[in-house]
């Protein structure tokens, strides 16, 4: 399976490189380096397939990274327009075969969709998803972010394998549905997990990737966070959950990386150990100890951690890298973390870290959501580097050199954000 994926990635990368070469020959690269924002340069170098041809209802402003399974990124010029990311521009990342319900942003009926709850429990159950509508509803405004978001920045040290996401493998959305703990509480007799249960495994109904024979897309999540946070989401942004984003039911764990939010939920299992599904190990993990960029690692359950809780992070939305700006400008962007505590500070430096000032932070609707920050800057004419880093209530922050968290698959990029702008 890994080989199939690697092949695909390599094919996409080769195609991208070839296109870059063509662009260079056409003299567009010169135009790009003359001031087009990086995001635009990036968008120009991608697959020519239109997003709407891969997934009906997706906007053609999206950058298509993979047109077979549907992997697409939102340019920051679009992402920054909305407090809540609309479904047509929300990034998309599929790993498996693209099933019919995943091919459009239309809703999928709840009735007739079954979810099995089992594992080391006293009373396993199968529910019809329609029963979720009869239970108390809850909602969470939260950042949905691929653990590969920002992967391309690891190339500042050594390029890592996989989709070369810029910052647009994320969005801020509102998921609503039924809290898993509320669902469990309705059963009599109860599901009653054994005291030794430590993980909840979520399985998606999507089939194996092309040419691979491995089973469902699965992830194991720690029991504590799942009981506290997990929602069986049936709605997104106030509408029935689009099929492409996991409808009719998706397991959502606010504060966790996107990959842990399993789409097309078909089964939950209460287990004593993590699944050995390829998406739990070796994929979607980062090493526990720093490793030298370029060094391979044999992942074990002991030497690495799944991409569960999101790292503290900030992304500048305005201006964008490469922009030409007026000397008196407003810097804007978003910051977030794993939602355990709020992000309390966003610091800005225009002198490569000699001095930092605090940006203003708008109070977010939830700890799991984007925290919008802004700062008035006054800069003399010339080229300037602007750094931004977020700090949360626990004092957790972002490394200035994000490559210190280098890992072979380029997960969990969380380096301080830095842009270069020219003041005219």
Ligand X SMILES: Nc1nc2c(c(=O)[nH]1)N[C@H]1C(S)=C(S)[C@@H](COP(=O)(O)O)O[C@H]1N2
Write the burial class of residue 21 (CB in 10 Å: 0-12 exposed, 13-18 middle, 19+ buried).
exposed
Can you tell me which of 46, 74, 94, 314 binds ligand X, judged by CB under 6 A? Answer: 94
137 neighbors 287 (Cβ within 8 angstroms): no
Site map (CB under 5 A) of Mo ion, residues 136-165, x = contact: ----------x-------------------
Nearest distance in Å: CB 196, ligand X? 27
265 neighbors 204 (Cβ within 8 angstroms): yes
Does residue 87 touch Mo ion according to CB under 5 A? no
List the interface residues with Mo ion, window 93-122 (CB under 5 A): 93
Does residue 245 touch ligand X according to CB under 6 A? yes
Residue 248: asked if its preceding bond is cis (omega within 30°), the reply is: yes
Can you tell me which of 237, 259, 274, 349 binds Mo ion, judged by CB under 5 A? Answer: 259
380 neighbors 327 (Cβ within 8 angstroms): yes
Does residue 74 touch Mo ion according to CB under 5 A? no
Does residue 321 touch ligand X according to CB under 6 A? no
Q: How many CB atoms lie within 10 A of CB 125?
A: 16
Binding region for ligand X (CB under 6 A) out of 47-55, 132-140, 262-270, 347-355: 262-270
Does residue 262 touch ligand X according to CB under 6 A? yes
Kindly report the backbone phi and psi dihedral angles of residue 391, in degrees, each rounded to the nearest multiple of 5, phi listed first: -135, 135
**Rg, Å, the chain Cα set:** 21
197 neighbors 272 (Cβ within 8 angstroms): yes
Site map (CB under 6 A) of ligand X, residues 159-198, x = contact: ----------------------------------------
Strand partners, 221: 200
165 neighbors 146 (Cβ within 8 angstroms): yes
Can you tell me which of 177, 246, 248, 258 binds Mo ion, judged by CB under 5 A? Answer: 258
Does residue 384 touch ligand X according to CB under 6 A? no
Q: Quick one: what does residue 95 bind among Mo ion, ligand X, none, with the CB cut-off 5 to 8 Å set by partner type?
A: ligand X
Strand partners, 190: none
At 64, which helix (H) or strand (E)?
strand 63-66
Nearest distance in Å: CB 258, Mo ion? 5
For 220, 237, 257, 305, 316, the CA distances from 142, given in Å and listed in that order, are: 20, 11, 11, 22, 18
What's the CA gap between 117 and 28, in Å, rounded?
Answer: 55
Q: Quick one: what does residue 206 bind among Mo ion, ligand X, none, with the CB cut-off 5 to 8 Å set by partner type?
A: ligand X
Does residue 204 touch ligand X according to CB under 6 A? yes
Measured from the CB atom, the residue of 267 and 389 that comes closer to ligand X is 267
Residue of closest CB approach to Mo ion: 146
Which residues sit at the interface with ligand X, rule CB under 6 A?
Answer: 90-96, 144, 146, 204, 206, 217, 245-246, 258-259, 261-264
């Amino acid at each position: 399976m890994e080989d199939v994926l690697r092949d695909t990635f390599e094919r996409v990368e080769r195609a991208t490189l070839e296109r870059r070469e063509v662009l260079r020959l056409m003299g567009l690269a010169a135009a790009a380096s003359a001031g087009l924002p990086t995001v635009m340069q990036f968008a120009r170098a991608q697959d020519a397939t239109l997003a709407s041809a891969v997934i009906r209802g997706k906007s053609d402003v999206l950058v298509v990274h993979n047109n077979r399974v549907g992997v697409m990124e939102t340019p920051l010029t679009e992402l920054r327009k909305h407090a809540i990311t609309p479904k047509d521009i929300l990034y998309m990342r599929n790993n498996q075969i693209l099933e019919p319900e995943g091919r459009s942003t239309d809703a999928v009926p709840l009735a007739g969709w079954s979810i099995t709850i089992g594992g080391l429990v006293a009373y396993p159950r199968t529910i019809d998803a329609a029963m979720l509508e009869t239970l108390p509803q809850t909602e969470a405004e939260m950042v949905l972010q691929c653990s590969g978001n920002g992967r391309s920045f690891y190339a500042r040290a050594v390029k890592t394998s996989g989709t070369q996401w810029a910052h647009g493998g994320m969005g801020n959305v509102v998921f609503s549905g039924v809290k898993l703990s509320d669902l469990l509480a309705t059963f009599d007799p109860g599901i009653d997990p054994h005291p030794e249960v430590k993980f909840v495994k979520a399985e998606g109904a999507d089939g194996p990737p092309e040419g691979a024979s491995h089973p469902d897309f699965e992830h194991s999540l720690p029991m504590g966070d799942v009981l506290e946070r997990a929602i069986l989401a049936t709605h997104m942004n106030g509408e029935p959950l689009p099929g492409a984003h996991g409808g009719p039911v998706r397991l959502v764990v606010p504060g966790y990386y996107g990959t842990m939010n399993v789409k097309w939920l078909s089964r939950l299992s209460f287990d004593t150990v993590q699944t050995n599904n390829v998406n739990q190990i070796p994929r979607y993990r980062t090493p526990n100890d720093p490793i030298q960029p370029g060094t391979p690692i044999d992942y074990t359950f002991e030497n690495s951690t799944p991409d569960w809780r999101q790292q503290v992070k900030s992304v500048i939305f305005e201006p964008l890298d490469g922009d030409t700006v007026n000397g008196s400008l407003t810097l804007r962007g978003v910051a977030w973390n794993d939602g355990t505590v709020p992000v309390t500070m966003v610091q800005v430096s225009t002198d490569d870290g000699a001095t930092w000032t605090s940006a203003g932070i708008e109070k977010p609707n939830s700890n799991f959501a984007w925290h919008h920050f802004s700062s008035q800057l006054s800069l003399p004419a010339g080229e300037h580097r602007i750094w931004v880093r977020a700090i949360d209530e626990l004092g957790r922050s972002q490394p200035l050199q994000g490559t210190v968290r280098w890992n072979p698959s380029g997960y969990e990029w969380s380096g301080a954000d830095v842009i270069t702008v020219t003041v005219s």
